[in-house]
Amino acid sequence: VRSAQFFAEAGVFISTKLGFIDALVFGSESGDIEKLKSLADVDIAGNVGSDDSYARKMAELLGEGTPANDTLGIEYIRALNRFGSRITPVPVKRLPPSLGCASASDIRALLSSADFNGAKPFMPDFSYKITVNRINSYGCPCTLDLFEPFILSKLLELGPKGISEIPADFDG
């Protein structure tokens, strides 16, 4: 669970610093933005004692078995709040694989291979239309390779002091 916190903080920090990201869209088992926002307001860190694990405290405060994507969504919202970001969180309700649903990785692979019709059954209609329009207009889908020059430019702009402020779960 703690890795979700660090993953969310780093992603939100970088996205906020880029300055042109306006929405953070993520998969969510509940798809309920109000529920996720209220859970994000629960002070986990203030309730974790020296003998408590972060994961155990999350389960205690948020409910045992909080789904993984909702947990990550909660951490995204916490990070957005923490950094005072103007980015809007947008959960997309995930359906279970038993209903013939594809993972985000599967959908990205289909879109990257230009198999738009293969991706269509797994996406909300509005998302599908926007995605295909953007791909046709701008040559996307967006991958890390596309953003690499912008990210590197921002890292150079931040300098060593700014880079040291980037949330990370490692030493050095």
pLDDT tens for 12-64 read 998 998 898 999 999 888 889 999 999 898 876 665 555 566 667 767 766 66
The pLDDT value given to residue 42: 80
Please check whether residue 116 is in contact with residue 49, taking contact to mean a CB–CB distance below 8 angstroms. Answer: no
pTM exceeding the 0.95 threshold for the entire prediction? no
Please check whether residue 89 is in contact with residue 73, taking contact to mean a CB–CB distance below 8 angstroms. Answer: yes
Angle, helices 54-62/2-18, rounded to nearest 10 degrees: 90
The residue assigned the tokens 């993972």 is: 103
Asked if the model's pLDDT at residue 107 lies above 60, the reply is yes
